[in-house]
Structure 1
Amino acid sequence: MSQRNLDLLLKPQSIAVIGASTQPMRAGNVVMKNLLSGGFSGPIMPVSPKYKAVLGVLAYPNIEALPQVPDLSIVCTAACRVPAIVEKLGQHGCKAVVVMAGGFDEVNPETGEAFKEQLLTLAKKYNIRILGPNSLGMILPHIGLNASLSHDHTKPGKLAFVSQSAAICTTVLDWANNKGIGFSQFISLGDAINVDFDELLDLLGRDGKTRAIMLYVDSINQSRDFMSAARAASRNKPILVIKSGRSLQGAKAAELHTGGLTGSDAVYDAAFKRAGMLRVNDLHELFAAVETLAHANPLKGERLAIITNGGGPGVLAVDALIERGGKLAQLDEQTLASLDEVLPANWSRANPVDIIGDATPERYARAVDVLMHSKEIDAVLVMHSPSALAQSTETAEAVISAVKLHPNKNRFNMLTNWTGERAAYEARHLFSKAGIPTYRTPEGTVGAFMHMVEYRRNQKMLMETPQSVSADLPTDASKARGLLQRALQQGQHVLETHEMQPILKAYGLKTIPTWHVKNAEEAVNIANEIGYPVALKVQSPDIHYKSDVHGVMLNLNSDAELTQAADSILQRVMDTFPEAQVAGLIVQKMALTAGAQELRVAVKNDPVFGPAILLGEGGSEWDISRDAAVALPPLNMALSRYMVINALKSKKIRNRHLPSGFDITALCEMLTQVAHLIIDCPEILEIDFNPVLVAGNKLTLLDVNVQLQADAKDTTDRLAIRPYPKELEEFFQLRNGNRVLIRPILPEDEPKHKVFDSGLSAEDRYKRYFGERAQMTHEEMALLTQIDYSREMAFVAMGLDGDKETETLGVVRASTDPDNTNAEFAMVVKGDMQGQGLGRFLLDKLIRYYQNNGTGELMGFTMLQNKGMAELARKLGFKVTIELEDGLIEMVLPLQQNQD
Structure 2
Amino acid sequence: MSTYRFDKLLAPRSIAFVGAGARDGSVGRSILESLRRSGYPGAITPVHPTQADVAGLACAQSLSALPAPPDLVIVAIPPEGVPAIVEEAGRIGAAAAVILTTGLGTGPDDPGTRARIAARRHGLRLLGPNSAGLVVPARRLDAALFAHPTAPGDLALISQSGSVAAAIVEWASRRSVGFSAVLSIGHSLDIDASDCLDHFAADLRTRAILLCLDRVEDARRFMSAARAAARAKPVVVLRAGRHRPHPASVAGPVATHTGALARPDAVYAAAFRRAGLLAVQDLDEMFSAVETLGRQRPFPGKRLAIVSNGKGIGLSATDRLIERAGSLAEIPAFGARPAGNPVNLGMDAGGPTFAEALAPLLADEGNDAVLAVHVPTIRSDAAAVAGAIAGAVREARQGQTRRKPVFAVSLGEAEAVRETFSAAGIPHFSTDSEAIEGFLHLVRYREAQDDLMRTPDSLPRDFTPDTEAARRIVADALRQGASWLDPIAVGELLSAYRIPAVPLTLAPDSDAAAAAAWPMIAAGQAVALKVVSPDIVHKSDIGGVHLDLTGESDVREAARRILSRARRERPDARVTGFAVQPMVRKGRRRELIAGLAEDPVFGPVVVFGRGGTAVEVIDDRALGLPPLDLTLARDLIARTRVARRLDAYRDVPAADLPAIALTLVKIAQLAADLPQVRELDINPLLADETGVLALDARVRIGRIPQSRTGDRDRRGGGHPGFAIRPYPAEWVRTLNVKDRVVRVRPVRPEDEDLFRAFFENLDPESLRLRFFGPVKAFSHAFLARLTQLDYARAIAFVAVEIDPDGRERMLGAVRLHADANHDSGEYAIGVGRDARGTGLAFALMRLMIDWARSEGIGRVEGSVLAENRAMLAVCRRLGFTQMRDPEDQGILKVTLRLGPADRAAPQAPPTG
Q: TM-score range by the shorter chain?
A: over 0.9
- How far did residue 388 of structure 1 move? 2.0
Q: Distance in 2 between matches of 1:651 and 1:25?
A: 60
Q: Distance in 1 between matches of 2:389 and 2:841?
A: 61
TM-score (norm 2): 0.93
Tell whether the 8 Å contact from 1:266 to 1:624 is kept in structure 2 after alignment. no
1:353-412 superposed Cα distances (whole Å, 9 cap, x missing partner): 112222231121122111111111110000111222212110110110111122228431
Among residues 771, 775, 778, which one is paired with 1:776 in the alignment?
A: 778
Aligned to 2:32: 32
Q: Does the C-alpha gap of structure 1 residues 718 and 378 become closer, same or farther in structure 2, counting only changes over 3 Å?
A: same
Mapped pair 1:749 → 2:751: yes
Mapped pair 1:647 → 2:649: no
The equivalences for 1:73-222 within 5 A come to 73-103=73-103, 114-222=110-218
The equivalences for 1:365-404 within 5 A come to 365-404=355-394
Q: Does the C-alpha gap of structure 1 residues 547 and 29 become closer, same or farther in structure 2, counting only changes over 3 Å?
A: same
Aligned to 1:877: 879
1:250-277 superposed Cα distances (whole Å, 9 cap, x missing partner): x67999xxxxxx9711010000000000
Aligned to 1:545: 538
The equivalences for 1:652-663 within 5 A come to 659-663=652-656
Amino acid at match of 1:16: A
Q: Does the C-alpha gap of structure 1 residues 744 and 640 become closer, same or farther in structure 2, counting only changes over 3 Å?
A: same
Q: Distance in 1 between matches of 2:161 and 2:426?
A: 29
Q: Does the C-alpha gap of structure 1 residues 663 and 535 become closer, same or farther in structure 2, counting only changes over 3 Å?
A: same
Aligned to 1:363: 353
**Structure 1 runs not aligned, ≥5 long:** 256-261
Q: Distance in 2 between matches of 1:399 and 1:253?
A: 55
Tell whether the 8 Å contact from 1:617 to 1:652 is kept in structure 2 after alignment. no
Aligned to 1:52: 52
Amino acid at match of 1:408: Q
Aligned to 1:258: none
Tell whether the 8 Å contact from 2:488 to 2:505 is kept in structure 1 after alignment. yes
Q: Distance in 1 between matches of 2:847 and 2:579?
A: 51
SS at match of 1:716: coil
Q: Distance in 2 between matches of 1:114 and 1:512?
A: 55
Aligned to 2:894: 891
- How far did residue 711 of structure 1 move? 4.1
Aligned to 2:253: none
Tell whether the 8 Å contact from 2:146 to 2:170 is kept in structure 1 after alignment. no
Amino acid at match of 1:512: V
Q: Distance in 2 between matches of 1:78 and 1:658?
A: 73
Q: Does the C-alpha gap of structure 1 residues 14 and 649 become closer, same or farther in structure 2, counting only changes over 3 Å?
A: farther
Mapped pair 1:722 → 2:721: no
Q: Does the C-alpha gap of structure 1 residues 653 and 626 become closer, same or farther in structure 2, counting only changes over 3 Å?
A: farther
Tell whether the 8 Å contact from 2:455 to 2:750 is kept in structure 1 after alignment. yes
Tell whether the 8 Å contact from 1:647 to 1:653 is kept in structure 2 after alignment. no
Q: Does the C-alpha gap of structure 1 residues 253 and 742 become closer, same or farther in structure 2, counting only changes over 3 Å?
A: closer
Amino acid at match of 1:733: N
Aligned to 2:558: 565
| Larger CA deviation: 29-38 vs 87-96 | 87-96
Amino acid at match of 2:656: D
- How far did residue 348 of structure 1 move? 4.4
- How far did residue 591 of structure 1 move? 1.1
Q: Does the C-alpha gap of structure 1 residues 23 and 581 become closer, same or farther in structure 2, counting only changes over 3 Å?
A: same
Aligned to 2:908: none
Amino acid at match of 2:629: N
Tell whether the 8 Å contact from 2:456 to 2:630 is kept in structure 1 after alignment. yes
Q: Distance in 2 between matches of 1:39 and 1:307?
A: 45
Aligned to 2:450: 460
1:119-163 superposed Cα distances (whole Å, 9 cap, x missing partner): 111111121111000000100111010112222220110101000
Q: Distance in 2 between matches of 1:383 and 1:594?
A: 52
Q: Distance in 2 between matches of 1:323 and 1:191?
A: 38
Tell whether the 8 Å contact from 2:647 to 2:654 is kept in structure 1 after alignment. no
Aligned to 1:428: 418
Tell whether the 8 Å contact from 2:19 to 2:46 is kept in structure 1 after alignment. yes
SS at match of 2:114: helix
Amino acid at match of 1:832: D
Among residues 659, 665, 669, which one is paired with 1:666 in the alignment?
A: 659
Among residues 683, 693, 697, which one is paired with 1:704 in the alignment?
A: 697
Q: Does the C-alpha gap of structure 1 residues 697 and 201 become closer, same or farther in structure 2, counting only changes over 3 Å?
A: farther
Tell whether the 8 Å contact from 1:297 to 1:411 is kept in structure 2 after alignment. no
Q: Distance in 1 between matches of 2:515 and 2:840?
A: 62
Aligned to 2:823: 821
Tell whether the 8 Å contact from 2:609 to 2:642 is kept in structure 1 after alignment. no
1:572-597 superposed Cα distances (whole Å, 9 cap, x missing partner): 11111111111111111111311111
Tell whether the 8 Å contact from 1:300 to 1:411 is kept in structure 2 after alignment. no
Aligned to 2:671: 678
- How far did residue 427 of structure 1 move? 1.8
Q: Distance in 2 between matches of 1:615 and 1:441?
A: 37
Among residues 501, 510, 514, which one is paired with 1:511 in the alignment?
A: 501
Tell whether the 8 Å contact from 2:156 to 2:182 is kept in structure 1 after alignment. yes
1:190-216 superposed Cα distances (whole Å, 9 cap, x missing partner): 001100011110110011111110111
Aligned to 1:416: 408
| Larger CA deviation: 641-650 vs 789-798 | 641-650
Aligned to 1:246: 242
Q: Distance in 1 between matches of 2:811 and 2:321?
A: 48
Q: Does the C-alpha gap of structure 1 residues 658 and 460 become closer, same or farther in structure 2, counting only changes over 3 Å?
A: farther
SS at match of 1:818: coil
- How far did residue 629 of structure 1 move? 0.4
Q: Distance in 1 between matches of 2:247 and 2:676?
A: 29
Q: Does the C-alpha gap of structure 1 residues 654 and 55 become closer, same or farther in structure 2, counting only changes over 3 Å?
A: farther
Tell whether the 8 Å contact from 1:75 to 1:99 is kept in structure 2 after alignment. yes
Give me the identity figure in percent: 36
Among residues 686, 699, 709, which one is paired with 1:693 in the alignment?
A: 686
- How far did residue 881 of structure 1 move? 2.7
| Larger CA deviation: 624-633 vs 92-101 | 624-633
Q: Distance in 1 between matches of 2:807 and 2:897?
A: 34
Aligned to 1:489: 479
Aligned to 1:555: 548
Aligned to 2:906: none
Q: Does the C-alpha gap of structure 1 residues 625 and 731 become closer, same or farther in structure 2, counting only changes over 3 Å?
A: farther
Mapped pair 1:838 → 2:835: no
Q: Distance in 1 between matches of 2:358 and 2:680?
A: 56
1:222-280 superposed Cα distances (whole Å, 9 cap, x missing partner): 1000000110010110000001122246x67999xxxxxx9711010000000000100
- How far did residue 350 of structure 1 move? 1.1
SS at match of 2:485: strand
Amino acid at match of 1:615: F
1:658-684 superposed Cα distances (whole Å, 9 cap, x missing partner): 724422211110000111111011121
Amino acid at match of 1:722: R
Q: Distance in 2 between matches of 1:561 and 1:115?
A: 68
Tell whether the 8 Å contact from 2:267 to 2:605 is kept in structure 1 after alignment. yes
Amino acid at match of 1:6: F
SS at match of 1:184: strand
SS at match of 1:305: strand
Amino acid at match of 2:843: F
Q: Distance in 1 between matches of 2:586 and 2:606?
A: 25
Aligned to 1:733: 736
Aligned length: 875
- How far did residue 858 of structure 1 move? 1.2
Amino acid at match of 1:229: A
- How far did residue 104 of structure 1 move? 5.2
Amino acid at match of 1:415: F
CA RMSD of aligned residues (A): 2.3
Q: Does the C-alpha gap of structure 1 residues 102 and 473 become closer, same or farther in structure 2, counting only changes over 3 Å?
A: same
Mapped pair 1:848 → 2:879: no
SS at match of 2:291: helix
- How far did residue 351 of structure 1 move? 1.4
Amino acid at match of 1:861: S
Tell whether the 8 Å contact from 1:136 to 1:148 is kept in structure 2 after alignment. yes
